[in-house]
Structure 1
Amino acid sequence: MNFSPFAKYFRFTKQQRTGIFSLFIIIMILQTIYFFADFSLPEKSFQEKEQWLSLQTEIDSMKLTKLTEKPKVYSFNPNFITDYKGYKLGMSVQEIDRLLAFRKENKYVSSAKEFQEVTKISDSLLSVMAPLFKFPDWTQNKKDFKTERKEFVRKENFKKENFKKEKIIVLDINQATQEDLMKVYGIGEALSSRILKQKEILGCFVSMEQMNDVWGLSPEVVNELNTHFKAVIPPTLKKIPINDASLKELSQFSYFRYALAKQIVTYRSMNGNISNIEDLSKIKGFPVDKAKIISLYLEF
């Protein structure tokens, strides 16, 4: 085959041959560097990454501890065993239902043996459950508990009957001491202190209806107070001059507060003097249900 027509394409000058040879040398050097040099980047150490790894190690350790540790078993009163707990301990549905039916009759088991008699569980299951039973004292001796309960009720009824038989002396609530208030059935140290505090805030009580405003007094206790006390308005009561009192003086009155006191001052400036409680009742926010009591503290 004649390659002479192609020979002209392979004729290079001296400079071209030098360039080709130099390019070949460069390619060989680069190939050698590529195969033998390590171009991997050095791994940088980040403080946050180390902290996360440390935390993850601690979490894994805690999980492993939780998986390996044995669950704690607590004592319980078998009278209040739930369906779920009974099932977990190995009781059948019928055995649990027998106990629930027994409890619906307001009865209690007071021993492991009685528990077995009621539920009909096997001896093997009882040997597993019995060490977990914890019976309260009153189920251990139900007869004594009932006797003590009856005795307590009898004594309470006796106290009430004797209290009712005593002659009731009606006192002025504004003159009553803490000891006087505590003599009323249902009132202790806390409630008596609360009543005296309310009297101090108001200056005095003007009606026994104000006992309903004392927090914590039940309707029964309020009735007892009405039986033993009455409200006598003292002549020294300093009434509030409704037409001359400042906003601050009106807002300090327990039945007004700041918003209503401001409304009263505005009403005075626009309509003149307030003549009676009926005029006050026209003001927005006025407690109409307390109008009679409030009027006894005011001077028109």
Structure 2
Amino acid sequence: MKRWLNNNFGFTKGEFNGVLALLVLILLITLFPYIYSLVKPEEPVDEEEQLAVLKLSALNSKDTSRLKIHHRVEYKPKTRIKERFIFDPNTIGSAEWQKLGLSARQAQAILTYRSRGGQFRKTEDLRKMYTISDRMYAELAPYVHIKNKAEQQNRAFVPRPAFVKPALKVIELNGADTTELDLIKGVGMTFANRIVKYRNRIGGFYKKEQLMEVFGIDSVKYLELKDQVRIDETKIRKININTAGVEDFKNNPYIRYKQVNAMVQYRKQHGNYKELADLSRVAILTPETIALLKPYLIFEP
């Protein structure tokens, strides 16, 4: 080899020795890890550490098992508790169907069938519902009670107590105030005030028909009111024609001022009136006026 190197590369002896030493060093560096692993003594294993590792491994294994068991229990589907009771499939709602064991979706399918006009006329009609299995039908059939039309009609048309029209409260016109008159159906506070004002002007009502003399009360309104009122003639304010002056007839709609004055002047000239017929001697007084005044006049000395 030395001769080959000298012939091809012209190495001197010193160069040859240097190359050889370099090759040996490279070889040693390459083989060192392998040789070291063969000659290195094994470290003794600590038995306590090894036991602790084994225990930790076992504990982790148990925890994992518990987690798996808990996972299975948590997501275990709940068993639906079924109830059994007498029912009419034409009337019960979703909640009752679910108590019987159907799901919410199954119950809704039956309600939809009914809302579209479907009816269960006999127990076997439940079979035509695809939501009810044969097994479910067998369980429910003994509890089905479908009311016939007669039962439904009797239930729908329960006799009600006859309506009794409340008795109308009758108000006395000559003594009532506005609050009492307001209780009359169809009067109200506006008409109550008008009635009282007119009553004070004439001295009281001697017949019901006088209500039509009140502003706003026509024949139709009168018919509505007449059965709710009564007249007490003893409460009419009387006027003694032989002592009365013009002021006693002030604002009275039945007689004008000129007529009252003529009546007073005639009395002063001819003396007291003895009866109603004496008023006809006053030329300005018409028979109609005398007739209107008759219920309100008295003839005393």
TM-score, length of structure 1 as denominator length = 0.39
- Which structure has the greater CA radius of gyration? 2
TM-score, length of structure 2 as denominator length = 0.39
